[in-house]
Amino acid sequence: MFAGTVRLSRNINGYGNVIVIRHNNGLETVYGNNAQNLVKVGQKVNAGQSIAIVGSEGGKTYCKFAIMVNGGRITPEIIIKLQSHKLRKKTLLCTKNGRFVDVAVKGANDANGSKKKGKNEDIDPENPFENANTFKLNLSNIEKERWAYPLPGSHVISPFGGPRRHSGVDIKTKPNDRIVAAFDGVVVKSCPFAGYGNCIRIKHRYGFETLYSHQSKNFVKVGDKVKAGQVIGLTGRTGRATTEHLHFEVFFQGRRLNPAVLFDHTNKSLQQVTLTLAKNGAVKSERNYYANK
């Protein structure tokens, strides 16, 4: 993609032949699932040089491609237009923040990094479907302060779906335990609501919404801006509930989504996956092979 130096070129069990190239602009590019690597560690390569032969898996021929900054993956669409294969006319600003790197994008008319009127474009756009029908969201890239498991220390007592077509997941700890917002967002509902009892619904970025119900008490009101990890209510059994617990739902573009697509309920973490989000509400999930542990 760019000129650089090969940092890694070997077979990784489960990932196939992998190449990582370090570039002078501070980025690293990753090429996986190769049938054969054509370069070795330490070799300098030019932009456009053949470095590998693409491999096949499951009847499909493809390259697993990633872009990294300081060991963390960023969305390739920030840099490349997938339809035209051309670089975007933007400046990528990377700022060291402890063990993380904050990444922001400036437009072509702001290449010197000066502030424009209005807010800067974030690494993930507010409206990801403005110029395309699909958008890739890498959950491995979301910093810890940007997400939270809604009921820490809980266990699942009723999963999503199943014979009764459960609309969410029921998770339980103890009565009046603290429920937290899963992501930053704006409260769009906070009131008693039919069988849900005391219910909270929060609108997030990218078309996601989360719902929390059966609370003994809600701490937020409609219009409140909340941060991931902020306490929004206490577990209860209001509405149709036989025990104190949290009923948690996830929506994308108005469609219900299995919360396990986003959250690993066992480890109380985000799934290590990249989601392909479609404008029509469809969601596909692909396991990340280079996620930071």
147 within some domain: no
256 within some domain: yes
201 within some domain: yes
Gap between the Cα atoms of 131 and 82, Å rounded: 11
- Reported as a single tens digit per residue, the pLDDT across 135-159 is 888 898 888 889 999 999 999 999 9
Last residue in a domain, options 106, 131, 166: 106
User: Residue 221: which CATH number?
Assistant: 2.70.70.10
Residue-range definition of the domain harbouring residue 258 = 155-287
What is the count of structural domains for the chain?
Answer: 2
Gap between the Cα atoms of 142 and 74, Å rounded: 10
Last residue in a domain, options 85, 106, 127: 106
In b/e form, how buried is each residue of 195-209, taking b as 16+ CB within 10 angstroms? Answer: ebbbbbbbebbbbbb
Q: How many CA atoms lie within 13 A of 48 on its CB side?
A: 0
Same domain membership, residue 264 and residue 182: yes
Cα–Cα distances in Å, from 255 out to 26, 31, 90, 95, 260?
39, 34, 33, 36, 15
Question: How would DSSP label each residue in 60-107?
Answer: EEE-EEEEEETTEEE-GGGTEETTTTEEPSEEEEEEEETTEEEEEEEE
Q: Supply the pLDDT for residue 101.
A: 65
Region 245-262: mean pLDDT is: 95
28 within some domain: yes
191 within some domain: yes
Same domain membership, residue 172 and residue 244: yes
Same domain membership, residue 270 and residue 185: yes
Last residue in a domain, options 69, 87, 106: 106
Same domain membership, residue 88 and residue 193: no
- Reported as a single tens digit per residue, the pLDDT across 105-140 is 665 444 344 433 333 333 345 567 777 788 888 898
